[in-house]
Structure 1
């Protein structure tokens, strides 16, 4: 009988293949990168990628071949000569006054089309579906992947960077507001019509901001509401507390990230969204059904690695997208429970966090607005013509991929409401505990 461990065999094969790729002597390399977030499911996993890559390159190539991505302290400002463009800063490299690498939101890859490689499309593919586009041979009739398409666009525009997707994150919550959009215990929902007419300023990142803005404009154009009063602020990476901004009257609502990230960044001081009044927390995460974040590497720095080191950097990056997604996914339930219970026992029911669902009819309206926004963006003269060309290329590649797969996606999933329904173990313990409403 063959008792050889298949995982050991696969690892041995990988090691042999990597060693065979090392055609030139390996040199230990530390690559210093600028991060963009300290939030639990976004910032720390980038550090984990660096540690994992260092461990695996050390194991397979020896200490002399180790590659280690090392985070620069804090969140250094992008030098002014790059005008806020992190890709330009990395393209210049540390020697040119920028950074040798940066871990960043995919939206920062390009202001026009970067969101398509970051959080995708509102109401669009989920995480597993999007992985088929990113890593599968989804583009040009099976000739290349979405990742290869992205790199080709950056190369076409002489951006002088190599990009690696390294962290995966789950669905976000979709807004902390003063009033509920949908029905809440003892409160009628204001709906999308009410939201658009509120004299509120929101921090709501693109592309969700684009969809909400377009949906409000559509309601005005159709005469459903007399005017739009809702406004948005431009986010400043690393800047200020959203909770303090509400407390000081600068904001009347915001979305941030997943429950795990929100606990680490919004519930880490004496005040939290509930205590400052924005206690209605909304779902589903229609605006961002996943998050994929990226390591951007200066091309000269990348080319200083040998083929084996580059191959392992890519392989560990792909592995870490899945591993980081799994690790943060396992913590989301406990994090959401914490959010909903954090103020429950302080004898002030007016600051309790309440989970609210966006009404289905409003979701339907926003789907239509999303489609119109995506299509109209191709012709938006306020955006650079080259970026609009590239946006159209990516959007069409994604459309074709979705069109080919939708027949399977539509009906493949079990209704979430009936999963684990009534399941108990032999001691009568439930799989699906009920949270008090």
Structure 2
């Protein structure tokens, strides 16, 4: 009889403990509702965040889950920053270049004309002052977000054109979809630029609303069908030698995570940096190899064009550093880092032979 009472008492105590523990366990679970700026079907552009969502669940044993919302399904891409900051959603995935109208320096945390390339960019972010300045930008502007780099891709193509472009004058009068700081360069060369979403570029080219476009890497551009309309694809991607994508998390939501949960999210994003650049690098050459079958001519900018782009970029930098103190702070820091890195790069790497 005593044994029975003991067993019953133990069972009651166990049940009581379990009942009181459940809410605490439930509170420890995190659901990141994440609108994304790029469709998850786009290779190396949208697929990285889908990979992150899968990995977070696995690595955390289900304690951290991410539900992604395709572009426009919950929040439109241009509204992601404001939505995360206000708490409308607790996270979002985009690229900082989308916010350069609000914060000019944001473009420097997305893609910089004429470099840095991916390895150098990551070195500055993680082991230079890049991350400190990246978060400082959002804090100074009053945005209630914690920023985490969560993917990176290597060079993009620098444009799809309906006709050959052999000299700067050939660009004058064109209407072109162009992203980020490179758009300011093109505008100096007489191009009218717009930043329409990727999903609308094909229709704009087809209807003649734009004459030319850049968007991303060959495999991504092929998935959007640009090759069906425009046949001259130019390289190198002087305007985007590497492009960073960010996971933004509302600061209150970030603060409620344990240190372990924060580390899980940050390290999963670091793993995504590796995964995304590997994915992007692996899939471009088969598409380029088959370009001629689709009537596409791959062209490399001549020296005159590349020099012109670089000269105009230097003008853009001078104007932007004069106009915005924080842009200057970031640019000066990045430039100092790159000057130091040049010593390593010039001596450590083999020159590419053609």
Smaller-chain TM-score bracket = 0.7 to 0.9
Q: Deviation at 1:314?
A: 1.0
For 2:49, the equivalent position in structure 1 comes to 46
- Number of residue pairs matched by the alignment: 326
Taking the aligned partners of 1:365 and 1:156, their CA distance within structure 2 comes to 35
SS of 1:207's equivalent in the other structure is helix
Mapping of residues 31-430 of structure 1, within 5 Å = 31-38=32-39, 39-58=42-61, 63=62, 66-76=63-73, 78=75, 84-94=78-88, 99-111=89-101, 112-119=104-111, 121-136=112-127, 138-139=128-129, 146-181=130-165, 190-196=166-172, 199-214=173-188, 216=189, 228=190, 230-233=191-194, 235-237=195-197, 240=200, 242-266=201-225, 272-273=226-227, 275-276=228-229, 278-341=230-293, 343=294, 352-380=295-323, 388-418=324-354
Q: Deviation at 1:77?
A: 6.3
Deviating more after overlay: 369-378 vs 406-415: 406-415
Q: Deviations over 1:34-73 (max 9, x none)?
A: 0111222111210111111221111xxxx4xx11221024
CA 1:206 to 1:309, structure 2 compared with 1: closer, same or farther past 3 Å? same
Contact 1:259 1:339 in 2 (8 A): no
Taking the aligned partners of 1:412 and 1:368, their CA distance within structure 2 comes to 28
Instruction: Give the TM-score of the pair, scaled to structure 1.
Output: 0.70
SS of 1:134's equivalent in the other structure is helix
Instruction: Give the TM-score of the pair, scaled to structure 2.
Output: 0.86
Contact 1:37 1:75 in 2 (8 A): no
Runs of 4+ in 1 over 6 A off after TM superposition: none
In structure 2, the gaps of 5 or more residues are: 1-23
Taking the aligned partners of 2:137 and 2:177, their CA distance within structure 1 comes to 30
Contact 1:260 1:331 in 2 (8 A): yes
SS of 1:311's equivalent in the other structure is helix
For 1:347, the equivalent position in structure 2 comes to none
Q: Deviations over 1:200-247 (max 9, x none)?
A: 211111211111223x2xxxxxxxxxxx4x3222x233652x222222
Q: Deviations over 1:20-41 (max 9, x none)?
A: xxxx977111111101112221
Taking the aligned partners of 2:254 and 2:266, their CA distance within structure 1 comes to 11
Contact 2:38 2:71 in 1 (8 A): no
CA 1:105 to 1:339, structure 2 compared with 1: closer, same or farther past 3 Å? farther
RMSD over equivalenced CA pairs, Å: 2.1
Taking the aligned partners of 1:192 and 1:417, their CA distance within structure 2 comes to 27
Q: Deviation at 1:317?
A: 1.0
Q: Deviations over 1:108-135 (max 9, x none)?
A: 344311121111x211211111111011
